[in-house]
Chains A and B, each alone.
Chain A
Amino acid sequence: MSNTSSTTPSVSLRGLTKVFGGSTVVDGLDLDIASGEFFALLGPSGCGKTTTLRMIAGFSDPTSGTILVGGEDVTSTPPHRRDVNTVFQSYALFEHLDVRGNVGFGLRRKGIDKRTRDKRVSEMLDLVELGDRGKERPSRLSGGQRQRVALARALINEPKVLLLDEPLAALDLKLRHAMQAELKAIQREVGITFLFVTHDQDEALSMSDRVAIMNQGVIEQCGTPEDVYERPTSVFAAGFIGTSNLMSGTWSQGCVRLSPTVAVPAPGHQGSAEGDAVSVAVRPEKIWLSDLTSAMFRVPGTIVSTVYHGATTQYLVSITPDLTLTVLEQNLPRMRAEDRWNAGDRVEIGWLPEHTVVLT
């Protein structure tokens, strides 16, 4: 569907900055989103992600910086002339029009004739599986159906980029999971670039090709879901996505010294000088409690607590009085209840060197 050259990014932000009454909400953002990409802007509320989206849509003027859509500078173009469409968090459906009227609204503004419009509206409603609800008023639809009308209404215009502002936030958990898969499938089918704003890390990881983690107006890290999960580059990124065991120490002879007795080797790490304060992050599921190998960094500890979670068991393991790690173990088929560790058990834990992430 999209014939634009794949070398031109769909969206490019250059030094995008927004200052609201003295506070910098978005601070010099530089970002390129490739054509056809499913891109997530992930961050806590107030991190500037929605403001960024609103600037791309044209509802908010940047204080400085430029916005390019399909290689064209749209920084001062009004929203109705930008080749960008938005799915709003509240859906913002037009209650005075029926579903077909809502979906066909954009084409009508473009002056597309009624025959073509009707055909395209029908195709779009089929795509979102609402073919039989065209004559309904939006107020009579369920939350998930309203969401799909909002999606169809934006997609029908075949924008260079579709902006989605927390589109699933208003749905209940089960529906949200179903819609995640559906949204991803629809995006693959239409091939339009999706720029997706969310505070839900699950959503960002499971749906996107790339994720940008945003905090206090800047992008902390940008990469594939695997990149940002496995190799966080900042303490914020490590803490915001999933859970991490964050330990602070000092850099000393290729190791991070956490206490006089514990030093974690980090062979791959570069750029820190002797004595620098650094942090180490290790994901709880990367830590082993049994079947340790000689390749692992190993350290003895004491089980503090055991919490059974069904698919997993979570242990708190005390290494030194000041250092307690969370360990997540899969409840594999071969494991029986009596195989689980109990509070007070002396254990040895370990993890592979590549799972040691050093953060400066």
Chain B
Amino acid sequence: MKFLSDSALERLRDAAEVPDLSGTRYRLLERIARGGMGVVFIAEDENLQRRVALKVLDVPGANGDFANRLIREARVLAALEHPGIVPVHDVGTLVDGRIFYTMKFVEGRRLDKHIESVTSAPDRLRIFLRICDAVAFAHARGVLHRDLKPANIMVGPFGEVLVMDWGLAKILRGDASDGARAGDPEATVFEKPTQSVSASDTTESSVVTGHGTVMGTPGYMSPEQARGDVELLDARSDIYSLGALLRFLLTGQPETASLSNGPRIDKSLAAICEKSTAASPAERYPNVLEMALDVSRYLDGLAVGAHRESIFEKTGRIYRRYRFFILLIAAYLAMRVLILLFMHR
């Protein structure tokens, strides 16, 4: 038997990682990332002559949790056609037996890297609102993301904001495609929501499975998700993650940094963060639209629902909002006074 040197072992490992794309319309260009169950490459779609991101499982076979998750992720993405959600192009099996799907290749930066160059708080809040748009759309289609964090948000070169990595998504009844729901090993099934998914008006009807596996990212994961209470998860779990994301955007600190220790932020924004990351889901915003509305109101200089203002705070906010007109009137009055004084001399 042939002795394999260390360098031969490394070459064999590298060779084994590369997917066999023969028989497909894709040509491999370069490896860009590795995840828990597979690897992502940039490939060229030779028919359409464009670059795509190709996500492929490590091990062959269409059965098993990983294969189910990848297929489900592709189908969730296919069901969510929105400018803020990366579009999927294709799903299938390679000749080496590995499941793959291709999606739009986003030439951008991860949110945590991108915000290093965005210093203005309003600009950061506008990015946040675009994330909320995509998540609210997914909720309206009955899909929870369950892993919202800066690393899963991409910002493109023209400012487009895309929510990525729907591998942990949870499908709600009658919303996303039936195909996407099939094979979801831990999907909890809810009644179809009308518009946005409000936790209070979703009625749990049955549980498909729900083995309680904890999946998500500490710091961004809601307490109920961290406990593995899969059957309790609803839109408010993603709202918790959005609250943590908002806190990250405002403080630039790691997700666990408390607001009192970090940079000073406006009380209204702090209240929005606190409300959305409340330990009890009942104390959070009932849906993403209400959370986004509060952030929009803040940007417009209006009172936010999460914070009861004192008279001084209210005066200060009104002054900041109508500063131009107040200063204009003050200047006009000052001029009138000066004119009167001058005339009476």
A binds B: no
